[in-house]
Structures are given as structure tokens and as C-alpha cells.
Homo-oligomer: A and B are copies of this chain.
């Protein structure tokens, strides 16, 4: 049985194995010990590469979307989020370099998925941009929390440190709410938009899952347990459910 204890903090993500309640073997190890397993090592390199390019792509898109801002202070808020994403990118890239991996090479396999996502979801106005910034930030937080429980202590500390510095998307909530209050029809349009964002994110994620065995296996509870596509599906379900609750709270019925 799996359920969300909180709409936006899937911190029970570690309880997804039916046989163990505590952390897996890897979660009790540091990087030096855990990375002796070449499959675990490959999975973490994939993960760091995927997260690093995701942050770089997010930087680029947020900076681009800042152009849609109606005021200078709105523009500055989106630029601030973009800059925060760039610093996440730096930390992830530096870790890749620190464990002897070429960051560019680690990122390459994920370029098509992220670029595809952003290409399919270019906001046509400022409100769509705000919803995208908020949704993207929130989904990223959920995913980072889900994945943190699967990681060795050193990699987990990095992922949680990057996560700690997110949440800049909150400023979007107030603006979107005000726009819906002023014109309720806006809510219908943005609800459709939020669904499209999530649909596109899931579709690109599934492409990655299909392509990257080591990463996918790790995401669902450790290398030793083998690959379980159903478990990946359940992780996506938890993230989608949290997204749906957030959108409802924002006045966007999904």
C-alpha cells in the first residue's frame, strides 16, 4: 500500500519497497563504498548528468520567459529563479568533475528529452510562463526528494542541498491567483496549460526511463532489486498526484 501523507512532500518515498522499511544498503553507504558497484556508479553519473542538464535548460528557458514579464520587478523575479538554477547546475557539474566524469558527456544523453520538453511547452504569455516556472520548480522538488532516499550519503547530501535552494516558484502563486480572481476564465485556460506541462514532462521522462536502464533501476529501489517498470510508474503517480493537488490549491481544477 502506498499513499501520500502530504500533498507536496512525498517524504515517505523511502517506504516503497514491500520488504524493507529502512534505508537500502546503498543509502547507508558513502560514495566511496557505494560507487564500488559499477552499476550504481553508472546510475549516479546518469542522475547527475540528467539533473545538471535539467538545471541548465531551466536556466535558459526561465531567462527567456523573463522577457514576457509585464514589469521590471516581475522580470527580476524570474531572472532570480534562472540564476538559482544556474548555481544548481554548477554544483552538479562540479560533482561530476569531482568524481572524474566529463560533465558534458554525462549530460548529453538527456539533452533531447529536456529540449523536447521546453520546445513543446514554450509559454505564449506571462501567466503561462509563471505557471510553468511554478510547476517545473515543484516537480523538480518532488523528484529530488523521491530520489534522495535511493542515494549514498554523499550524493544524497548534494541533492538535498540543491533542493534546499529551490522553491523560488512561490512568487508565481500569488500572481496567478490574482489573475484568476480578476478573470475566472483565465483559470480554465491555465488549467489546460498545467495539464499539458505535466503530460509533456511525463512523456519525456518515460523516454528517459526506457533508454537508461541503470538510472531507472536505481530510481525504483536499488540495483539489487532489478528493474521494475511498475514501480517507476508508481513514482510518476505520486509526483502527478502532488502536482494535481497543487494545481487545485492554486484554483486550477485539473
Contacts and interface: CB of A to CB of B under 8 A. Distances in A.
A79 B82 CA distance: 10
B79 A59 contact: yes
A224 interface: no
A24 interface: no
**Identical chains in the assembly:** 2
Contacts of A103: 72-73
A83 interface: yes
A63 interface: yes
A76 B216 CA distance: 27
A86 interface: yes
Contacts of A213: none
Given A83-B83, A83-B86, A72 B60 contact: no
Given A83-B86, A86-B79, A63 B72 contact: no
Interface string A76-98: 10011011001101100100000
A75 interface: yes
Nearest to A107: B72
Contact of A104 (B64, B73, B87, B108): B73
Nearest to A72: B104
A79 B104 contact: no
A5 interface: no
A90 B56 CA distance: 21
Nearest to A53: B72
Nearest to A62: B63
A20 interface: no
A87 B107 CA distance: 26
B82 A63 contact: yes
Interface of A: 53, 56, 59-60, 63-64, 66-67, 71-73, 75-76, 79-80, 82-83, 86-87, 89-90, 93, 103-104, 107-108, 111
25 contacts: A53-B72, A56-B75, A56-B76, A56-B79, A59-B63, A59-B79, A59-B82, A59-B83, A60-B63, A60-B66, A60-B67, A60-B75, A63-B63, A64-B64, A72-B104, A76-B89, A76-B93, A79-B86, A79-B89, A80-B86, A80-B90, A82-B82, A82-B86, A83-B83, A83-B86
